[in-house]
Amino acid sequence: MSQNSGIMTANKLSRKEFLDKVEKTAQECEREVHGCGRCTLKSLMEHFGLGDESSKDLALKAIMPLSGGIAQTRNTCGAVLGGLMAIGMVFFQGRLQDATTEDLFAAMAMGRKYYRSFEREMGHSRCFDIREAGLGRCFDGVDPVEYDKFIEAGGYDLCGRVAGKAARIAAEFILEMQESRNAS
């Protein structure tokens, strides 16, 4: 692996071991502190060394309301959004003001490829559908009684697995991007 392959090189982990570690970090974060988008992004930022402390803090604050299917509206899964944010951070390495329309379209194409991979792996991309498939129904996290039922049904175990898978899939895409750049 090259120097730009992040932590994997530093720790001399195999690709599988590195991906397992990324997945486990996101999964444990979701189970402990919650927020699937935040946990997915946090794992990827940590293992790929994305951003300095200030930018990490800002990105993790910005993604907080996107969990629960965008602010508990049960729409797009926050975990997939966290993965998309990390891919965007890695995809364009230059200054934002220097990005061209071609860069934007290329980033969106990579994001779309990741999104479709997530959908294939999880069966859905909407929080509502993922929770319904994994828990037998979707719970309204805004309602305290429903939230307690979500916890009792193993909601954070399910969401931990989803955050882990989202982080792993994104990490695979990031490694491919890095390897492609290093080959050029």
pLDDT tens per residue across span 150-160: 999 999 999 99
Q: What is the pLDDT of residue 180?
A: 86
Per-domain boundaries in the chain: 3-183
* Mean pLDDT of successive 10-residue stretches along the chain, which has 184 residues: 42 91 98 95 97 94 94 94 96 87 92 97 96 94 94 96 98 93 82
Q: What is the pLDDT of residue 11?
A: 61
pLDDT tens per residue across span 120-139: 999 999 999 999 999 999 99
User: With helix as H, strand as E and coil as C, how does the chain read?
Assistant: CCHHHCHHHHHCCCHHHHHHHHHHHHHHHHHHCCCHHHHHHHHHHHHHCCCCHHHHHHHHHHHHHHHHHHCCCCCECHHHHHHHHHHHHHHCCCCHHHCCHHHHHHHHHHHHHHHHHHHHHHCCCEHHHHHHHHHCCCCCCCCHHHHHHHHHCCHHHHHHHHHHHHHHHHHHHHHHHHHHHHHC
